[in-house]
Structure 1
Amino acid sequence: MNKNWVIVLAIVVVLVGGYLFLSKGGTPAVTENQPAQTSSDITSPGGGTPVEAGMPIKGAGNVVEKEVIRELTVVGTNFKFSVNEIRVRKGETIKLTFKNEGGKHDWKVDEFKAGTKILDGGQEETVQFVANRVGTFEYYCSVGQHRANGMKGSLIVE
């Protein structure tokens, strides 16, 4: 009888040991507190830490920076613009909508080769350019004597 108890005890120990080994040795179960990793997560090399897409990764030489687009609106009326000074940062893409509210006018800035065509009153046009040079640049209306009569302003790139 003593021998039977030893065999039963050995079988129980093997079963319990096998159960514990299999339940702990596999991959851990996902709990509700663990955030799911999405396809937009990027794993840093060797670190295994998720970072947001577009964030610089230490040691990575091929980081893509997010393009900044600055949207502006300038209104033109007789011999003046609604804005006399525009400030932007170097490297920004400028998307400028020029709305003409009277007469024939346009909007130009020579240093960035940007400008609208001559528009009739009530028309508008959008131009886009990159402010890739630091400095103060004059924008103006090129129609007749409008620039000489004060239809101009300053584009300041910092």
Structure 2
Amino acid sequence: MNTTNKFSLLILMGFLTITSCGKKDPATGGEPADPIETTTEGEGVAAPVAVENVLVIEGNDQMQFNTKELRAVAGKPITLTLKHVGKIPKEAMGHNLVILQEGTDESAFAVKANEAKATDYIPESEKASIIAHTKLLGGGEEDTIEFTIDKKGTYNFICSFPGHVAIMKGVLIVE
């Protein structure tokens, strides 16, 4: 591990120690509830409003995505926006979102990503394992990508910045 990665990891560990638990929902004592948008159809029955294949996910300075699950429809273009809602620059708290092919070993991918600083932690040797990825973002930045997944399935997504994959991951369910 080079000196820059060690320094970034040290800063990250210190920051996590200071801010370790994040915000909790005071009503339940647990994680904040995800807001659900609803619309009324017919006789007062509420149904979820879904904008087909337009996805937004946030990463923060506490090294967390705001959701662990995204959903999309197979065979239709997907527009995905990653927003880094924190303030820390990407050199110390960079976030990206990498959608991996089914069956990709996240741990092995992350090890190779750690050494790929020159390509924003997207290893050239693993291009075949990647469906799509955003740019590496610092606090206050966002990136939107467009891609299509034709095959129904469950696809893992991760942040490939060194040390983040252990916490910043989830699934994209394509139906």
Find the counterpart in structure 2 of residue 125 from structure 1. Answer: 143
Unaligned runs of 5+ in 2: 1-50, 87-92, 102-129
Deviates more, 1:114-123 or 1:104-113: 104-113
Find the counterpart in structure 2 of residue 108 from structure 1. Answer: 98
2:68 equivalent to 1:84: yes
Find the counterpart in structure 1 of residue 80 from structure 2. Answer: 96
Give me the identity figure in percent: 39
Q: Larger relative CO (CA 8 A, sep 6+): 1 or 2?
A: 2
TM-score, normalization by structure 2: 0.48
Find the counterpart in structure 2 of residue 152 from structure 1. Answer: 169
Is the CA contact (8 Å cut-off) linking 2:158 and 2:165 kept in structure 1? Answer: yes
- Larger C-alpha radius of gyration, 1 or 2? 1
- The letter of the residue matching 1:157 is V
Specify which structure has the higher proportion of helix. Answer: 2
Q: Report the 3-state secondary structure (helix = DSSP H, G, I; strand = E; otherwise coil) of the residue aligned with 2:173.
A: strand
Distance in 2 separating the partners of 1:101 and 1:69: 24
2:89 equivalent to 1:71: no
Distance in 1 separating the partners of 2:77 and 2:67: 19
Count of aligned pairs between the two proteins: 90
Unaligned runs of 5+ in 1: 1-67
Q: Alpha carbon RMSD of aligned pairs, Å?
A: 1.7
Is the CA contact (8 Å cut-off) linking 1:97 and 1:125 kept in structure 2? Answer: yes
4+ residue segments displaced more than 3 Å = none
